[in-house]
């Protein structure tokens, strides 16, 4: 993301603990409940996932945009949700709206990442926050181990901006190491707002067992650009940008006899402008499904 004067002021307010809005403000007249939960089998070897930078540090129409996120999550009803640019009021709002999910937070102050885990589909075993020692933007890696399908789930918001390429690649090296150290009978999924450029991924060199889901599914043009200022008007910028910043990477379980998840569908979400005149975020979200080969 690009930090402008107003968002930068908001971040300063966040760090000082002064929220420009409250959970009550975000709720307003919205009483839409959590999506109805149907009985499900945790071991059907399928997975549905959304990753989305929700632009929580931008206070412009945030209550309306947060309710927009709720509507999308109710519509897609994913097993797992990776979220970036959360702030505490946004988290508290989501916890009230999604009691059938467990919220895991990547920090307690400022802006941060988080995960929503559908309780009927996956069971939390443990979570860990891995520090990026040289970040200048409060970034880290949130790692969650879940039972039911032997999954390691990871999300992050890698360092932003062209000038921060070196730090971003350092952070990708941390992700790479986590991919490599995962047990062979575990499936690993990493997704988030990576801010990555293709040349950076090439320089770091991910393990051969790891695939870029968008590439694996044929590099479909309709879900290529997740940060697209030609269509998304949430930010007013003096330039045009179309970037594939938001990505999902998969390392299937390696052991024989263990179900190997493979991606079978990807789509962008959040493409519709809300009644308030804004989109849910300045990023499009990614909806992705996986099933056993």
- Write the CA distances from 73 to 66, 88, 114, 241, integer angstroms: 11, 19, 15, 27
Catalytic, out of 79, 88, 193, 246: 193
Contact indicator for 211, 250 with CB cutoff of 8 Å: yes
193 is catalytic: yes
Angle at which helices 62-76 and 88-97 pack, to 10 degrees? Answer: 40
Contact indicator for 76, 280 with CB cutoff of 8 Å: no
Question: How would DSSP label each residue in 164-192?
Answer: GHHHHHHHHHHHHHHHHHS-TT-EEEEEE
- Whole-angstrom distance, CA of residue 85 vs CA of residue 106: 10
At 112 the three-state DSSP class reads strand
Q: Which residues contact 159 (CB under 8 A, 6 or more apart)?
A: 132, 135, 136, 137, 139, 167, 168, 171, 195
Query: Where in the sequence numbering do the catalytic residues fall?
Result: 193
């Amino acid at each position: 993301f690009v930090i402008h004067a107003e968002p930068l002021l908001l971040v300063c307010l966040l760090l000082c603990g002064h929220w420009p809005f409250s959970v009550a403000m975000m709720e307003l007249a919205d009483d839409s409940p959590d999506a109805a939960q149907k009985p499900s089998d945790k071991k059907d070897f399928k997975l549905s996932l959304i990753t989305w930078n929700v632009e929580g540090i931008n206070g412009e129409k945030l209550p309306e945009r947060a309710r927009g996120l709720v509507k999308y999550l109710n519509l897609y009803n994913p097993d797992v949700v990776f979220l970036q640019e959360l702030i505490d009021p946004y988290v508290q709002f989501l916890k009230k709206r999604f009691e059938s999910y467990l919220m895991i937070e990547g920090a307690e102050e400022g802006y941060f990442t988080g995960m929503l885990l559908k309780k009927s589909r996956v069971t939390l075993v443990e979570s860990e926050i891995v520090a990026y020692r040289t970040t200048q933007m409060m970034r880290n890696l949130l790692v969650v181990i879940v039972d039911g399908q032997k999954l390691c789930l990871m999300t992050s918001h890698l360092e932003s901006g062209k000038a921060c390429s070196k730090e971003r690649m350092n952070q990708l090296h941390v992700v790479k190491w986590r991919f490599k150290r995962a047990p062979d009978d575990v499936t690993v999924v990493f997704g988030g707002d990576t801010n990555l450029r293709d040349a950076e991924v090439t320089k770091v060199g991910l393990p051969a067992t790891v695939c870029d889901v968008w590439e694996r599914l044929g590099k479909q043009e309709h879900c290529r650009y997740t940060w697209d200022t030609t269509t998304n008007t949430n930010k007013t910028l003096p330039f045009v940008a179309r970037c594939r910043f938001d990505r999902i990477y998969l390392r299937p379980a390696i052991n024989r006899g263990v179900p190997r998840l493979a991606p079978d569908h990807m789509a962008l979400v959040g493409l519709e402008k809300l009644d308030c005149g804004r989109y849910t975020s300045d990023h499009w979200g990614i909806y992705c499904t996986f099933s056993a080969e």
